[in-house]
Amino acid sequence: MNAFEYAAPRTLDEALTVLREHGEEARVIAGGTALVTMMRQRLVSPGYLISLHDIPGLNRIEVANSGLRIGALVTHREVETSPIVRERIPVLAETFRRVASVRIRNMATVGGALAHADPNQDPPVTLIALGARVEIRGAVGRRELPVEEFFRDYYESSLAPGEVVTAVVAPQLPPASGAAYVKFLPRTADDYATVAVAAVVSLEPDGERCRQARIALGSVGVTPIRARAAEALLAGQRFSAELLQAAGESIKGAVDPLSDHRGSAAYKREMAAVIVARALTQARDAARATARGTR
């Protein structure tokens, strides 16, 4: 690694000031699992690191607007094991559980993972399907945007210079809804997905037809993507094998995977269709169970 200056400010305002002063030369560090690895590989060589770890208040999980607000410094393992997450948005706990190994989940943070903007990560896929929003602080103030608008390109987010992710806010599922995260990884359990799909299905009062579906995919393009064409096919329709197949087929045109050691682009495109159908089936079954439980 190259030499760099290191600051561990005690307040967010102080961190933002230091970040503004040092501009492009500075990088923000939280858990460090992505940044330190990239620094060791000389992919990035920041001259100034600003650690968020000594800033109080960024590591809380709290109920907000009937959903959950998860602070940027909350670790993946904390999301996975949090009783409040497991109770209110269990698919989120399940998704974070699928990231790498316990050891990495002890280090990697929610905000750091978003800012890293790696399209192979698990959490953004489920966060997009849930309709979660990112909270951002910068010199000019606070802004918020949907997670699905946060990612711009491979390792590129819409964070402006001088901005920091402070939290992610995930809404609770609507009534008569179910969610699923399906990670297809034929190699090892701690690997990135070959294809990952999150689906949230909301049922009509009849418990049979799909009122609304939200579908997101990871590892199939330069950013995680939302599959709006497939969602439109499902809205108002009765679930059938044909419908799930059609939803899967519609995915093939929406994805743009890279060929790599996790599979060829053609293979990933085929598997995206299969995994979307599986995720929808699981989400539908979960929605039916929820609907039955509340009727």
Partner 1 sequence: MNRKIHLTVNGTARSVEIPTYRTLLDCLRNDLGLTGSKEGCGVGVCGACTVLLDGKMISSCIALAVSADGHAVTTVEGLAGDERLHPVQQAFIDAGGFQCGICTPGQVVSAKALLDAIPNPTDAEIREWMLGNLCRCTGYYKIIESIRTAAQRSRA
> Which lies closer to partner 1 via its Cβ, residue 85 or residue 213?
85
> Which lies closer to partner 1 via its Cβ, residue 103 or residue 143?
103
Q: Does 11 bind partner 1 (CB under 8 A)?
A: no
- Distance CA(37)–CA(233), nearest Å, equals 42
Sequence-separated (6 or more) residues with CB below 8 Å from residue 228: none
Rounded to the nearest whole angstrom, what is the least distance from the CB of residue 50 to partner 1 in the complex?
A: 12
The alpha carbon of residue 281 and the mean position of all alpha carbons in its chain are separated, in whole angstroms, by: 21
Q: Does 3 bind partner 1 (CB under 8 A)?
A: yes
CB 276 within 8 A of CB 215: yes
Rounded to the nearest whole angstrom, what is the least distance from the CB of residue 190 to partner 1 in the complex?
A: 6
- Distance CA(197)–CA(215), nearest Å, equals 7
Rounded to the nearest whole angstrom, what is the least distance from the CB of residue 99 to partner 1 in the complex?
A: 11
Q: Does 261 bind partner 1 (CB under 8 A)?
A: no
- Distance CA(217)–CA(219), nearest Å, equals 7
Q: Does 83 bind partner 1 (CB under 8 A)?
A: no
Rounded to the nearest whole angstrom, what is the least distance from the CB of residue 191 to partner 1 in the complex?
A: 9
- Distance CA(29)–CA(31), nearest Å, equals 7
Q: Among residues 285, 90, 282, which one has the least CA distance to residue 184? A: 282
> Which lies closer to partner 1 via its Cβ, residue 48 or residue 184?
48
> Which lies closer to partner 1 via its Cβ, residue 95 or residue 177?
95
Q: Which stretch binds partner 1 (CB under 8 A): 30-38, 128-136, 257-265, 275-283?
A: 30-38
Q: Does 33 bind partner 1 (CB under 8 A)?
A: yes
Strands (DSSP E) found in 32-132: 48-51, 61-64, 67-71
Rounded to the nearest whole angstrom, what is the least distance from the CB of residue 49 to partner 1 in the complex?
A: 7
Q: Which stretch binds partner 1 (CB under 8 A): 4-12, 139-147, 148-156, 168-176?
A: 4-12
Rounded to the nearest whole angstrom, what is the least distance from the CB of residue 71 to partner 1 in the complex?
A: 18
DSSP letter, residue 238 = B
> Which lies closer to partner 1 via its Cβ, residue 39 or residue 91?
39
- Distance CA(119)–CA(1), nearest Å, equals 25
Q: Among residues 149, 135, 166, 156, which one has the least CA distance to residue 44? A: 156
Residue choice 51, 158, 237, 245 for contact with partner 1 (CB under 8 A): 51
CB 49 within 8 A of CB 3: no
Sequence-separated (6 or more) residues with CB below 8 Å from residue 66: 171, 172
Q: Does 174 bind partner 1 (CB under 8 A)?
A: no
> Which lies closer to partner 1 via its Cβ, residue 75 or residue 223?
75
Q: Does 103 bind partner 1 (CB under 8 A)?
A: yes
Report the first-to-last Cα separation within the chain, whole angstroms.
59
Rounded to the nearest whole angstrom, what is the least distance from the CB of residue 117 to partner 1 in the complex?
A: 18
**What residues form DSSP beta bridges with 156?**
153
Summarize as ranges the residues that interact with partner 1 (CB under 8 A): 1-6, 8, 29, 32-33, 36-37, 39-41, 49, 51, 53, 77, 100-104, 106-107, 188-190
